Structure 1
Amino acid sequence: MDLSLSRVHFPVTTLGPGRRLGIWFQGCSIRCPGCISADTWGPGQRRLSTAQLLDQITPWLDVADGITISGGEPFDQFDALIRLLQGLRRLSQVDILVYSGYSLEHLDDQLRQANGLIDALISDPYDEALSQTMALRGSDNQRLNLLTPLGRARLGDFERLLMTTDKALDLMFDETGSVWMAGIPRRGDLLRLRDLLQDQGHQLQISAHASRRR
């Protein structure tokens, strides 16, 4: 089973508890205005089998405290997502958190098929017009759904308002020299970063801005 992959990174410390393995799917049919990950909307060109991906990430699974799957939209590649989740469960006992722009109700059938494979789900589309006061969420309409006892134990404490310690971003570098951010930026954070870099003679292209022009 092949999937379209955006990137993988370890460690990610801003999308759930502990040092986590982050997996970003490529491709999204929802395309929320203002999305900070608009670079993951298109189909992409990096395709690989779930077996290849599992083989690549196995060394990280030995030391990861948890796994976060985002995108893009993971449920747009549901068959590959299920196959990946099954493989992750075979290889690791850590919690699995999945981000989706679909509502919980829309995913009813898929979640029945994935019963026990996803410990926690952040559901619902990002809405840039709404407040952003809750941990792990980009807008307050998004819901943290705790689906297993492990999910409740590991992520139940995140059903709360943002704290100062939540206001952080991970910086990631890929083999091309591109810089990526992981986490949930506060409104205006990326604009402030762009202005700061421009003041120092650097350029910053933010995919969230490009998404508004599409």
Structure 2
Amino acid sequence: MILHIARLHHPVTALGPGTRLGVWTQGCALACPGCLSRDTWEAGPEHAVGTRVVLEWCDRPDPDGIDGVSISGGEPSEQPQALAELLAGLAERRARHGWDLLCWTGLEEEPFADRCPEAYGLLDGLVTGPYRVVEAGGGRWRGSANQRLIPLTELGQERYGPWAGDGPGPEHPAKMQFQVEDDRLYLIGVPRPDDPARIQKALAAQGISLDGVTWRP
């Protein structure tokens, strides 16, 4: 089955506990004002990837060095059948390797479960709710304060429980990370509202300019 993919990253240390695989889906009709990932809104044929290819990519790193998989976007729920197929394959790897599966959605929990019932049953944790720029800085792994981090399984409660309340939760080693691929710089994690501008200013001081940044229209 085809899944529209924005990008795949490893290692990811700023979106969930431990060292993780990161899967960003492409396509989002929510278009939340202030979104930092506008480049993931529009999906085209160039983003089409077989779920089998994504699973094969997930098998490349040493599985013992992976704690889980973080799935974001874009809006993963806009591809419910492909998402379910991907998660079914990842669940097999969870059984072998002890990985957890964490997903972000701009929907609330019930609408997500209605749209993606098969996927919902495979996840260990879910971050729900639209991004609201006026409530930005929601705490660990939440872009805005209205969003909720919901453990869905016993493993999810074990891994995410300490961060599932309204506060930021215990300190976690990685807050933000950068990855460079070709001529692109990727910011991974959930920044505070002023972080992108501060990062751009700091890079400019080093003689590095950024073109086509995704947090501006």
Same-fold call, TM cutoff 0.5 = yes
Instruction: Note if 1:122 corresponds to 2:110.
Output: no
Distance 2:52 2:23 in 1: 14
Moved more, 141-150 or 127-136: 127-136
Q: CA 1:202–1:131 in 2, change beyond 3 Å: closer, same or farther? A: closer
CA RMSD, 1 decimal:
1.8
TM-superposed CA distance for 1:71, in Å, is 0.5
The answer to whether the 8 A contact 1:27-1:71 is kept is: yes
The answer to whether the 8 A contact 1:130-1:139 is kept is: yes
TM-superposed CA distance for 1:167, in Å, is 6.8
Task: Write out aligned runs for 1:148-163 (5 A).
Answer: 148-160=153-165, 161-162=167-168
Task: Write out per-residue CA displacement over residues 45-95 of structure 1, whole angstroms, 9 at most, x where no aligned residue.
Answer: 131111111112212361311110001111111111000000111123311
State the partner residue of 1:83. 85
* Structure 2 length-normalised TM: 0.89
Distance 2:110 2:127 in 1: 13
Letter matched to residue 121 of structure 1: L
State the partner residue of 1:179. 185
Distance 2:81 2:138 in 1: 33
State the partner residue of 1:193. 199
The answer to whether the 8 A contact 1:21-1:61 is kept is: no
State the partner residue of 1:170. 177
Distance 2:208 2:148 in 1: 37
Distance 1:51 1:79 in 2: 14
* Structure 1 length-normalised TM: 0.90
State the partner residue of 1:97. 102
Distance 2:89 2:172 in 1: 32
Q: CA 1:61–1:73 in 2, change beyond 3 Å: closer, same or farther? A: farther
The answer to whether the 8 A contact 2:12-2:20 is kept is: yes
Identity of aligned residues (%): 37
Q: CA 1:14–1:137 in 2, change beyond 3 Å: closer, same or farther? A: same
Distance 2:149 2:186 in 1: 24
The answer to whether the 8 A contact 1:134-1:159 is kept is: no
State the partner residue of 1:54. 55
Task: Write out per-residue CA displacement over residues 125-146 of structure 1, whole angstroms, 9 at most, x where no aligned residue.
Answer: 0000115242210100001111
Q: Which runs of 5+ in 2 are unaligned?
A: none
Q: CA 1:74–1:115 in 2, change beyond 3 Å: closer, same or farther? A: closer
1:73 to 55, 75, 93: 75
Letter matched to residue 151 of structure 1: G
Distance 2:56 2:31 in 1: 30
Distance 2:126 2:60 in 1: 25
Letter matched to residue 195 of structure 2: D
Task: Write out per-residue CA displacement over residues 97-130 of structure 1, whole angstroms, 9 at most, x where no aligned residue.
Answer: 0000111122232353335311100000000011
How many pairs are equivalent?
209
Distance 1:97 1:185 in 2: 18
